[in-house]
Amino acid sequence: MKRLSLLLVLVLCLPLTTRADEASRRVKAQELVTLLHMDTLMLQMMDTVQKQASAMALQVSGDTPTTQQQALRDDFNKKVFALVESRIGWKALEPDILDLYARNFTDEELDAMLAFYKSPAGVSMIAKTPTLSEQSSQIAVDRMNALMPELKQMGLDFEKAEKAAKPDAVAPGKLQQSQWVHPSANGHLIYHSDKNGTTIPDYSFAGYRSGGVALPTVPAQIKLLPTGADNTAAIQHAIDTVSARPLDAKGFRGAVELGPGVFHCSAALTIAASGVVLRGAGSGGDHEATTINLAGDPHVGIILKGNFALNTISPATNITDAYVPFGAHTIHVADATHIHAGDLVQLSKPVTAAWIKYMGMDGLERPDRDEHWISAKALNVRRLVTAVSGNAVTFKIALMDSYDSQFLSTEHFTVQPVAVSGHVKEVGVEDLRIVAPAASVDFHDAHTIAMEINAAADSWVRNVAMIDTTEGVRMDNNSERITLTRVDVEQSKTVTSAARPFDFAINGTQVLVDRVTGTGDKVTYFATEPRQQGPVVILNSTFHGDGNLEPHQRWSTGLLVDNCSVPEGGIHLINRGVMGSGHGWTMGWGVVWNSTASDFIIQQAPGTITWAMGNRGPLKSQAMPDGNGGRVHGTPLPSGLIESQGKPVAPQSLYLSQLAERLGPNALKYIGYTTADPMH
């Protein structure tokens, strides 16, 4: 293990980068790295690191291996570096390095560097760089070798002292620790895996551009003032005019800016082109705010509308793993010939009769309607491939469901390269109010909805108030990488039906709902919808009234509820049984972290884990409900894994800590936080 740790420490000193989207500068970055022969330099660096690591490992061990031991060590080193080469070699790193250069240098800086490296001095520097690099590395190795005896003794002394040390008692008021994920002494997160390989994944990819990226401020192209009459046509014309403009280098066309006052709208405002923003002058209740008044018959206020399409581009291949755990990044396939790093793939999990029976969802019955849990033939999710090594395929974002072959007969779990199109991207709605006449209606009748988000990606809603709309935001299952931040939903009237409306009904993936608020009774404040994998995160949000934060129906997975407060209502991850037309198990593999509610119902679906850590509020149990709100089974369903109920755990925010660890502390600033503690 010492040898493996040393090898990994050395190779991980190679630069890690994040992606960017500056396409115009990426072309120049490509020319620059080609000119610098970075591919050759990387190969030389890997070769040098391998030789140095082998020599240093011998220094650390201090032994003289036998011929057989040396052969084993050589084979071990070869396998380690083959794995490292596949993950952080030039082919794997090139796209990220190009994005890094494009993100951090302007066109002028790239032009200047290209000019220099084409000059005689630059050509000479390029030619001499390999020799300088090798000689510099040798100097470092020589000095490190001289230090080895001293470092070895320090390590032995440390191990002895560490074994003798006693664990600290937890001080009063100090945060507790979850066994599943907690900070180490140096602040880095440590994750636990169970015997199946299940682990809590990194949720920080949720949000605009996969999280940690500041929402942009897009220049206004058209400005409007209210007329006192119906403004629908004027605003829609302005949106359409901006939509016809060409995209700039950053992917934007421009903003339609509404001035202070009340804009009466009798029909939905639709943004159906990428790079368009609808912005007001503010979302407060004063005369400086911009208000969109939903006049006339009940309708949707604003619609973000893409035209999603998915096309397969290569044959599907079967997953060969007997079991793929929740939180896994790597799977094995029968044939990886058509899968490459950088590909987008779709994983399909057949919905089999055996699995439905195992989940207890085969006996849903109700005399007044057809009951069914999941009618779809398969549960699908898309993932970006970061590496392929033999038949092992690795994804950028962890899988947020398990894949258990014991429930298959003639079916297979499959992976297939795909291409998606039709998303509206870089679309925003911000700084305005959407107001409807207060009304008590049956939820199944026509009613107002503030916003619908359909087939959108890398888009946002910020600083928007939704007043007396029956529902707030509805998002479809083709939307991804969306941030909703500082959105307030207020309802002064309640519905007349048993079925409840939603403040936030989220069916997309990589969605961050951050610092939102809601006020009202007989409402579901936040819900996931059917057949979607996360990550989906609701962070630092507060809701007042007798409603619940509760996934709604038919199996979504990978939800993180992080530092949320529902002081008069509940946080429920439950089996809704025959409610609706057979909502059944609504959520699997969910996490509720350091949140507060008047009650928690944390149920655990068969074959999964539902986690609740550091929450404050009483825990309750219940059986599967029937259609009248009763209980069809006397025995409560199993509870999830509960840790430190009543006492917060460290870190204070799981999402913010994971984000800071993945992208650095500036990522917190970009999304409006100063630390990983959302209260500060």
Among the listed residues 256, 301, 252, 253, the one whose alpha carbon sits nearest the alpha carbon of residue 281:
256
Greatest extent of the chain over all pairs of C-alpha atoms, in Å: 91
Mean pLDDT of 487-502: 95
Distance CA 134, CA 142 (A): 12
Split at pLDDT 50, 70, 90, the class of 9 is very low
Split at pLDDT 50, 70, 90, the class of 17 is very low
- Name the percent of the chain lying above pLDDT 70: 87
Query: Does residue 75 have a pLDDT over 90?
Result: no
Distance CA 268, CA 299 (A): 7
The pLDDT of residue 35 is 82
The pLDDT of residue 367 is 73
DSSP string, 592-628: EES-EEEEEEEB--TT---EEES-BS-B-----B-TT
The pLDDT of residue 12 is 40
Mean pLDDT of 429-443: 96
The pLDDT of residue 575 is 95
Q: How many CB atoms lie within 10 A of CB 669?
A: 14
Query: Does residue 627 have a pLDDT over 80?
Result: no
The pLDDT of residue 29 is 79
Rounded (10°) angle between helices 107-118 and 23-35 = 20
Q: Is 453 exposed, middle or buried (0-12, 13-18, 19+ CB in 10 A)?
A: buried
Split at pLDDT 50, 70, 90, the class of 113 is confident
pLDDT per position as a tens digit, 523-551: 999 999 999 999 999 999 999 999 999 99
Helix runs in 165-281, H state only: 232-243
Query: Does residue 3 have a pLDDT over 80?
Result: no
Query: Does residue 170 have a pLDDT over 70?
Result: no
Split at pLDDT 50, 70, 90, the class of 166 is very low
Query: Does residue 278 have a pLDDT over 80?
Result: yes
Mean pLDDT of 18-22: 44
The larger pLDDT score, comparing residue 630 to residue 262, is at 262
Average pLDDT, rounded, for the chain: 88
The pLDDT of residue 339 is 98
The larger pLDDT score, comparing residue 620 to residue 161, is at 620
Mean pLDDT of 205-233: 98
Determine contact, residues 92/386, Cβ cutoff 8 Å.
yes
Among the listed residues 510, 509, 514, 465, the one whose alpha carbon sits nearest the alpha carbon of residue 490:
465
The pLDDT of residue 108 is 83
Among the listed residues 573, 456, 447, 580, the one whose alpha carbon sits nearest the alpha carbon of residue 510:
456
The pLDDT of residue 413 is 98
The pLDDT of residue 51 is 61
The pLDDT of residue 287 is 83
The CATH number of the structural domain formed by 209-308+424-670 is: 2.160.20
Split at pLDDT 50, 70, 90, the class of 148 is low
The pLDDT of residue 48 is 62
Dihedral angle sign, alpha carbons of residues 146, 151, 154, 155: negative
The region that residue 510 occupies, defined by phi over 0 for left and psi between -120 and 50 for alpha, beta otherwise, is left
Query: Does residue 42 have a pLDDT over 90?
Result: no
Domain ranges of the chain: 2-166, 209-308+424-670, 310-401
Asked which of 25-29, 295-299, 478-482, 558-562 is least confident by mean pLDDT, the reply is 25-29
Query: Does residue 10 have a pLDDT over 50?
Result: no
The pLDDT of residue 131 is 81
Determine contact, residues 475/460, Cβ cutoff 8 Å.
no
Q: Phi/psi at 144 (nearest 5 deg)? A: -65, -40
The pLDDT of residue 192 is 97
The pLDDT of residue 195 is 96
Residue 429 sits at the vertex; the CA angle it makes with 427 and 435, to the nearest 5 degrees, is 150
pLDDT per position as a tens digit, 289-307: 999 999 999 999 999 999 9
The answer to whether the bond into 651 is cis (omega within 30° of 0) is yes
Distance CA 515, CA 512 (A): 10
